[in-house]
A and B are shown apart, each in its own frame.
Chain A
Amino acid sequence: MTAQIAAILTIDGVATGAIYVLIALGFVLIFSVTRIIFVPFGDIAAFTALTLAALETGQVPGTVGLTVALAILASAMEVVSLLRSGQRDRIPRRLLFYLVLPLVPAALVWASGSIILPMPLRIVLSLALILPIAPLLDRIVYRPIADASVLLLLTVSVALHFALVGLGLLFFGPEGVRTKSLTDYTMILGGIPISGQTLLIVIAAIVFAALLFVFFGFTLSGKALHATAVNRTGARLMGVRPEKSGTIAFLLGSLLAGVSGVLIAPVNTIFYDSGFLIGLKAFVGAIMGGMVSFPLTAIGALCVGILESFAAFYSSAFKEVIVFAILIPVLVARSYTAVHSEEETEE
């Protein structure tokens, strides 16, 4: 291998890794606040890509049907639970949140019909369509079992993933899509070409990682979210609603997954079931960070991307095997170094 090939592979790996960084940060964010390992997270990224592709060809994306169905189901559950606890006065506000807000982007897409919108608008609309899905799933699937063990929540997540893949096939069909390139710009650095797409991916990962850092370090909402993650009872005693923190975590996580879906769509062909593998590789990165540390997660996800790139060069048939095989030494190392928290010991 020459130095130039190594450099190209590294750049390629960093780009892939940056996508994994976005998704892995979302994994950690959602897990730390809700204790849910949100397996369908990769599906959210894939669905964003499929939505964007549908908008490019002037079709109504399957996301519209999916969001409408989820919004109706979540609203019905919310109304029933409020009626049962005798809190009728809170129904309008909840309906605004669970029914009206998710349906606004769906209605916009529906209204625009076969008009092909300009690219920035298409991206914003795709993200707006995708954002409500995870919070609605949270309301429908996870909230009734919020106090369950991490294992049960994980089992439900796996089931939910398979359900979503089925729904993906129903709503988006079996064809793979690849969207138009976001930019044609190419930069030459030391004789190695770097595409504008790669630069965009890396910049997006850096920007969103920085935003998360600012959000958790300097805003009260971020601190309340962190507080929910470290001590749920303590947070409730301060008046912080864990459900609200969970919704914010799912929204932020979906934004990260959505952005990664937009960025990956022009470079990879995405099918309705492509999300799982992307999510699983990001998950390897999140495991390296112990599912708690954002910086370690970002480094871990980058390593996965670079390793995958080199593995594909040496033996493309075994690239997935090589990537997942590194989980073993990582887990062994973590089992020696992990500090058990107070809560874990209690369970």
Chain B
Amino acid sequence: MSLLALSDIAVAYGKAEAVRGVSLSVEPGQIVTVIGPNGAGKTSLLTAAIGLLPSSGTITFDGQDVSRLETEQRVERGLCLVPERRELFADMSVRDNLVLGAYTRRRETAKIKSDIDDIYDRFPRLKERHKQHAGTLSGGERQMLALGRALMARPRLLMLDEPSLGLAPLIIREIFRIIASLRDLGVSILLVEQNARAALETADFGYVMETGEIVHDGTAGDLIDDPRLIASYLGGQHA
């Protein structure tokens, strides 16, 4: 059974349809990526999946229909989104951001403390800056904090929206290395990226989205060698 199954999802802003009839699924333990150009509707799809945008169609998480649940209820069930804008709490410390990440598990006080230490082990930079306000961090550090904060919820499915956006190439490589390492934690990942090559190199399965629809899908290995994709997205160069 799929962990997350989106079926026939449509999102519209007034009359403009951003997403039309999209269906996709994420199996437990998988990293699935959705690639495609700017404006293809990838962000709208994730925003609808977490419930911040109204959509039609069915969203099934762990066998249960969550389409009509509020965002907070989806989060409580283990669905988690790191949005493109990161949405950190800018005037709060790094540590407080992490503490709030575990808001849905707020009664497990002792575990939260040890989880914060685990996050610090994974992202030593965050430990160095634990008292600093999130708003004063660099772009890469913010992305690390956004990832760390999301992991504090111990999500079953982590949705990442453009984690490499606006970051320097070296940092991008670091972020993708971290994403790949999350597989060991048993977290399934739905990764939305414009950086198609890096995303496909990390993922197990991929979907290609164009103007609100899915136009190709396949295993990441097949997609990365697909001549049509090489021409339009992969550019024949290694990222």
Contacts and interface: CB of A to CB of B under 8 A. Distances in A.
Interface string B74-86: 0110001101000
A85 B96 CA distance: 34
Chain A interface size, under 10 / 10 to 19 / 20 to 34 / 35 or more: 10 to 19
Most buried by B among A86, A227, A231, A239: A239
Given A227-B100, A238-B100, A85 B68 contact: yes
Contacts of B76: 239
Given A226-B92, A227-B89, A230-B89, A236 B68 contact: no
B104 interface: yes
Contact of A239 (B75, B90, B91, B92): B75
A211 B87 CA distance: 28
A224 B75 CA distance: 15
Contact of A238 (B52, B68, B103): B103
B99 A223 contact: yes
Contact of B68 (A86, A226, A235, A342): A86
Contacts, number: 64
A157 to B, nearest CB: 26
Nearest to A244: B72
Interface in B141-180: 149, 153
A224 B70 CA distance: 18
Contact of A237 (B68, B75, B91, B99): B75
A230 B135 CA distance: 11
A220 interface: yes
A233 interface: yes
A226 B99 CA distance: 13
Nearest to B86: A234
Contact of A231 (B88, B96, B153): B88
A163 B77 CA distance: 42
A147 to B, nearest CB: 12
A223 B100 contact: yes
Given A220-B106, A227-B89, A231-B89, A237 B71 contact: yes
A68 B232 CA distance: 65
Contacts of A342: 90
B166 to A, nearest CB: 15
A238 B88 contact: no
A226 B89 contact: yes
A241 interface: yes
A237 B89 CA distance: 12
Interface in A231-275: 231, 233-241
Interface in A71-119: 85-86
Contact of B87 (A85, A231, A241): A231
B87 to A, nearest CB: 4
B50 interface: yes
Contacts of A226: 89, 92
A236 B74 CA distance: 10
6 contacts: A226-B89, A230-B92, A235-B89, A235-B100, A237-B80, A240-B72
Give the top 10 A-B pairs by smallest Cβ distance, nearest first: A234-B87, A239-B75, A239-B104, A238-B103, A227-B89, A239-B72, A236-B71, A241-B72, A239-B103, A233-B87
